[in-house]
Chain A
Amino acid sequence: IAGITQAPTSQILAAGRRMTLRCTQDMRHNAMYWYRQDLGLGLRLIHYSNTAGTTGKGEVPDGYSVSRANTDDFPLTLASAVPSQTSVYFCASSAFGGSSTGELFFGEGSRLTVL
């Protein structure tokens, strides 16, 4: 089934450790995104990439980095995790141009707990 795959599904991490959340899509979408979801705050954009080789900062980029070496993969790295990064992380993708209406397709999420 086509879609977005995120890994890991869930992770508990000690503060100060480095962590990479993986995201792969097989829809050949141009754009990819990372959001975090926190109770009472909704979804907030961390980083985005409109095409392979380019990335941009969203609303809450501090403490996170991304790369987009190819169309399919968009990993999110926490260089030195802190407890405030405890959250559920969602990767998403979208096509644009042509008949696209801008819909985002989401993965199932990665629940990260930083202790």
Chain B
Amino acid sequence: GNSVTQMEGPVTLSEEAFLTINCTYTATGYPSLFWYVQYPGEGLQLLLKATKADDKGSNKGFEATYRKETTSFHLEKGSVQVSDSAVYFCALSASMTGYALNFGKGTSLLVTP
């Protein structure tokens, strides 16, 4: 089935540093791609999404581009803030279980002042 692999954390950055979290996928067909964020003690919430090749999803200063040629959907932000400290999950639409998403293992980000 469809799957994603994302870089392992934890990632520690200073405030205003540039962030990249890598995500690559394996899929049949053309799945939708997502980044979710989980703040401490909370459920997951959608950060951004892209539904077709070359689409760029963006939200709250975060961006990710659906690259079919490299099967990637890397998350980037130009200047991180302390409030961005969270766990980030890459996900794609599953092919075998209805409309479920398959998630990566998550990357923990800690931003220090």
Contact = CB atoms under 8 A, between A and B. Distances in A.
Nearest to B104: A42
Interface in A42-83: 42-45, 48, 50, 56-59
B77 interface: no
Contacts of A104: 44, 46, 100-101
Contacts of B105: 40-42
Contact of B103 (A31, A42, A102): A42
Interface residues of B, number: 22
B97 A45 contact: yes
Contact of A90 (B44, B99, B102, B106): B44
Contacts, number: 65
Contact of B106 (A4, A42, A92): A42
Query: Would you call the interface of chain B mostly helix, strand, loop, or mixed?
Result: loop
A96 B101 CA distance: 13
A45 B89 contact: no
B97 A103 contact: no
Given A40-B105, A101-B49, A101-B51, A107 B43 contact: yes
A45 B49 contact: no
Interface string B93-113: 110011111111110000000
A21 to B, nearest CB: 14
| Closest CB pairs A-B (n = 4) | A106-B43, A42-B105, A43-B103, A50-B98
Given A42-B105, A48-B97, A92-B44, 14 more contacts: A33-B100, A42-B103, A42-B104, A43-B44, A44-B103, A45-B94, A45-B102, A48-B98, A90-B44, A101-B51, A102-B32, A102-B93, A102-B101, A108-B42
Interface of B: 32, 34, 42-46, 49, 51, 89, 93-94, 97-106
